[in-house]
Chain A
Amino acid sequence: MTDVLNSLILLLVAAIAYGTPLLFGTLGEILTEKSGNLNLGVEGIMFMGGAIGLGGMFYFEKLTGITSYPLAVLIALLAAFLAGALASLIFSFLTITLRTSQNVTGLALAIFGTGVGQFAGEMMRIRVGGYVSLSLELTNALPASPFPQALQDIPYIGKLLFGNSIFFYLGILAAVLMHLFLKKTRKGLYLRAVGENPSTADSAGISVTRYKYLATVVGGGLSAIGGVVYIITTAGCTWNNEGLSGVGWLAVALVIFCLWRPLSALWGSVLFGALMILYMRLQLPFIPTELYKILPYVVTVIVLILSSLRNNKEKQPPEGLGLAYFREDR
């Protein structure tokens, strides 16, 4: 019995590690979509966040010679956020100011961002002449828990509650803050109004353009953090051109799964994290590994179908999602 319980806890801890990048990706896209912008470029944004976040940590450590856990975390978050914000700024300028199609622009960003991420990662590899990796000390410390060993040693719950990387706790914080912002503040209400019905919001004197820009840029930055978290928690702090592929798209799908609710993203991302690693943890003799690996994608398809079947009014996307708003067109 204890064995089963122990392996279940181990599975959960691993699921959290794989789910944390998804959590950030999803939270960012929720914020973006709440403003009525559908940014399909999350895949590209996360690639950029991953490569540039890693690059930031790597060059900081190399140039200054300072190996510091808190500084590395800060630089990773900051560099990834800026990269994602910049990418989303391109998207915002094109879709909001130049009125291009959100779908095609998002796809262009996915191609562009994947290219930039791989380009940057590859460039560092060529410059360094081998693998881009942080010092062993950081590589071990970053994905580890920030809490003292004593707390982690509490039977059963210790590992689960205190054994995760700092990014998971930051993700929880971000989700709670976003929930409070959207539900409890006036600005959050305005943002939702912009996403639901921009012309009404505009009549009420809310600057639709400003809210759309801000939400999309900040959302893109958050999504990009997911990229660098992936590199840190699951890729061993090294760059690999294919590693991130598919994570960004799963994050976009998770937004639908979570019904645009930040708090639901918490368990949704852990669930999908579990689906991603189940083939390593729970081997089934009659399912080949390669087929087992497509489980998250199959589940996503089922989720998409089921979510299109429901008619509940509370569980719909923001009404203005994907539609451009031009004041002159009213």
Chain B
Amino acid sequence: MAESIKAPLIRLEKRGENGLNPAAVWGIRLGSIAAALLLGCVAILLTGNNPIKAYGTMINGALGTAVYRQQTIKRAIPLLGCALAIAPCFKMRFWNIGAEGQITAGALAATFVARTCTGKLPSLPLLLLMALAAMVLGGLWGLIPGFFKAKWNTNETLFTLMMNYIIIGVVAWLQAGPWEAKQGRIAHFEEAAELPLVAGIHCGWIIVLALVLFMHVYMRHTKHGYEIAVIGDSLRTAQYAGMNVGRIMMRTMFLSGAISGLVGFIIASGTSHTLSREIAGGVGFTSITVAWLSQLNAFAMVAISLLLGILSKGAATLQTVMNVPVAISDIITGLLLFCMLGSEFFINYRLILRKKRGGKEARK
């Protein structure tokens, strides 16, 4: 240290109290989204297609006609719901990546109710019962890893992930065995067990928009939300303040799983009208991106879930029209996340280049 009077080429400085103004912060974030889309061009170029044409095809395929727009929104609904479910877990630094399984568990419970109660109940109570069952099973599926984390600090990342494979295996068994209708498929629901359409789209969109308000109030204006935030910032502070951290974790995981389960019900009853092992279809993972890109802000999630809905629907069109593999949407999703994560650094720190003449100055 003694002889290093030379200043380093690049120095970092934490931005002070006032930091960047909000406009610049959002400028950097939008810039990072643009950077990710630019990087996505590389992948499209590799397929021998024109990136501008490809993005045009994607936007057209996602928003071009009223039907396309409806399909895009249908893809955004579960993403939004599931991102809302994940947000409180991530807020308390509980890495729940089991949303995929919690969705599947919810769909499984909803399907069970639909199979046993259709014909015995009118449509509305039947749907409510399906939703309730989905929330209970989804919640329990989230509670199990939450319980072990609270009790013995068991690694929740891998636990929640393994729970995905387990429940998907159970559905695969039901699909090929006890519940099989024909050719390894489960029969479609009766009309009474399907979500009614509102404005051309199943009414799941109303449910998730209501959830946006609920989660906003829950996270920002309730004691529960405050406790979650404290645990996320500093576990020790929470313990010192006398919070029952284990109980809060279990409660939050149940809530998170229950909302994911509700999303499973919405997918099963609103979109697929049946149960299959692919029912969650990666929503549980993509919604992690939605939650994180939105900085866990419930209102921002509406916009980001629409963006990723456009991406996913657009990629499906791109595959049929230009023969670009649909996995392009995963690549761009990953890139979005990388760029967004990286951009936070430039929001929190200032880079100071070494001045040409001042290089020999002693460090302060």
A interface secondary structure, majority: helix
Among B166, B175, B333, point to the contact of A294 (Cβ < 8 A): B166
Interface residue ranges, B against A (CB under 8 Å): 12, 14, 43, 46-47, 95, 97, 148, 152-155, 157-159, 161-163, 165-166, 169-170, 172-173, 175-177, 285-286, 288-289, 292, 323, 325-331, 333-335, 337-338, 341-342, 344-345
Instruction: Find out whether the CB atom of A301 lies under 8 angstroms from the CB atom of B166.
Output: yes
| Bound CA–CA A117/B334 (angstroms) | 13
Report B-chain residues with C-beta under 8 Å of the C-beta of A5: none
| Bound CA–CA A111/B287 (angstroms) | 11
Instruction: Find out whether the CB atom of B163 lies under 8 angstroms from the CB atom of A301.
Output: yes
Report A-chain residues with C-beta under 8 Å of the C-beta of B162: 249, 253, 297-298, 300-301, 304
Report B-chain residues with C-beta under 8 Å of the C-beta of A293: 169, 172
| Bound CA–CA A298/B161 (angstroms) | 11
Residue A118 interfacial (CB < 8 Å): yes
**Which residue on A lies nearest to B291, using beta carbons?**
A104
| Bound CA–CA A305/B43 (angstroms) | 41
Among B175, B323, B330, point to the contact of A112 (Cβ < 8 A): B330
CB distance from B161 to the nearest CB of A (A): 5
Residue A27 interfacial (CB < 8 Å): no
Instruction: Find out whether the CB atom of B333 lies under 8 angstroms from the CB atom of A111.
Output: yes
| Bound CA–CA A328/B14 (angstroms) | 10
Residue A107 interfacial (CB < 8 Å): yes
CB distance from B363 to the nearest CB of A (A): 13
Instruction: Find out whether the CB atom of A126 lies under 8 angstroms from the CB atom of B323.
Output: yes
| Bound CA–CA A122/B315 (angstroms) | 14
Instruction: Find out whether the CB atom of B325 lies under 8 angstroms from the CB atom of A112.
Output: no
Q: Among the listed stretches A16-24, A65-73, A95-103, A266-274, which one makes contact with chain B, having 4 or more residues with CB under 8 Å of it? A: A95-103
| Bound CA–CA A104/B325 (angstroms) | 25
Contact with B along A239-257 (1 / 0, CB 8 A): 0010000100100110010
> How many residues does chain A have at the interface if contact means C-beta atoms less than 8 Å apart?
47
Report B-chain residues with C-beta under 8 Å of the C-beta of A115: 327-331, 333-334
Report A-chain residues with C-beta under 8 Å of the C-beta of B46: 123
Instruction: Find out whether the CB atom of B292 lies under 8 angstroms from the CB atom of A104.
Output: yes
| Bound CA–CA A119/B344 (angstroms) | 28
Instruction: Report if A104-B341 is in contact (Cβ < 8 Å); known contacts: A111-B330, A111-B333.
Output: yes
Instruction: Find out whether the CB atom of B169 lies under 8 angstroms from the CB atom of A294.
Output: yes
Among A98, A108, A297, point to the contact of B337 (Cβ < 8 A): A108
Known: A90-B338, A98-B341. 6 other contacts (CB 8 A): A101-B341, A103-B157, A104-B337, A107-B337, A112-B334, A241-B327
Shortest Cβ-Cβ A-B pairs, 3 listed: A112-B334, A115-B330, A294-B169
Residue A237 interfacial (CB < 8 Å): no
Instruction: Find out whether the CB atom of B158 lies under 8 angstroms from the CB atom of A256.
Output: yes
**Which residue on A lies nearest to B13, using beta carbons?**
A328
Among B47, B170, B325, B344, point to the contact of A291 (Cβ < 8 A): B170
Report A-chain residues with C-beta under 8 Å of the C-beta of B338: 90, 94, 105, 108, 112
Report B-chain residues with C-beta under 8 Å of the C-beta of A109: 334
